[in-house]
Amino acid sequence: MGLTRRQAIMASLSAIALGGCTSTARTRTHPRPIAGWPGYPANPAGNQRYTPVQAPYQQPVPVPNSAADVTTIAGGINAVGRSNWTRTGPISSKVNAMNGISKITVHHEGWTAVDFTSQSATAERIEKIRKYHTGEKRWGDIGYHYIVDRAGRVWEGRPIQYQGAHVSQNNEHNIGILVLGNFEKQSPSSAQLKSLYSTTAALKSKHGIKTALIRSHREINPTTCPGKNLQNQMNGLRQYVG
């Protein structure tokens, strides 16, 4: 019995990391965008570009590298709890109820490139984002519900009972996932992609989200977010979650 489709996709992500992100390696091993999105193919498994790669399966979520990594169940997702990066909760007068979940939108940070992987540096960065969102932007909390860091950890952001602030006019029912980095300038790490894929699959399953409503920011609004090097993962992500 061969690898399942999901295992094969995860394995191909590992192959990318080993081979670097040269255009040659990407062409050979990387799920490439299917022309015509949002016309997502009715039978993506039939696309020859996704032929399973026979490589050893690796666990999709890497083990965090610090004893201080405290995990919690945030909206059904195993994540580094919010108390590990901030002491400040959402401003209740500035947040609205989610009213059920039916969509996921993927973002990048789009600031300076991110190469740090430690818990402490990541916590500092997420708190910086929250302060920017609540300060300059005057929002009720950090805009995103989950943050995937460079090491592949998933962090709890805004509690998912509240609408986020991540897609203009489209925050109700919509989970926002931030992948930390600037993917116009850099590529997501293999660990990040694995976590993004597995987290999205878990959220889709938990909330019964339709694959067609798992989109990147630029698939909804005119923006470069989540950057070309993460945008080119979106069809692979939808393929993975099925």
Residues near Zn ion (CB under 5 A) = 107, 217, 225
Nearer to Zn ion, 178 or 209 (CB): 178
Nearer to Zn ion, 118 or 223 (CB): 223
Task: Give min distance, CB of 223 to Zn ion, in A.
Answer: 6
Task: Give min distance, CB of 8 to Zn ion, in A.
Answer: 29
3 state SS of 3 = coil
Task: Give min distance, CB of 184 to Zn ion, in A.
Answer: 12
Nearer to Zn ion, 49 or 128 (CB): 128
Angle at alpha carbon of residue 33, lines to 27 and 34, rounded to 5° = 120
Task: Give min distance, CB of 104 to Zn ion, in A.
Answer: 12
> d(Cα 214, Cα 241) in Å, to the nearest integer?
9
Query: Is-contact 217 227, C-beta < 8 A?
Result: no
Nearer to Zn ion, 217 or 238 (CB): 217
Nearer to Zn ion, 198 or 231 (CB): 231
Ranges of beta strands (E only) in 87-183 are: 103-108, 146-148, 154-156, 174-179
> d(Cα 191, Cα 13) in Å, to the nearest integer?
8
Task: Give min distance, CB of 225 to Zn ion, in A.
Answer: 3
Of 90, 106, 66, 69, which is closest to residue 196 (Cα–Cα)?
A: 106
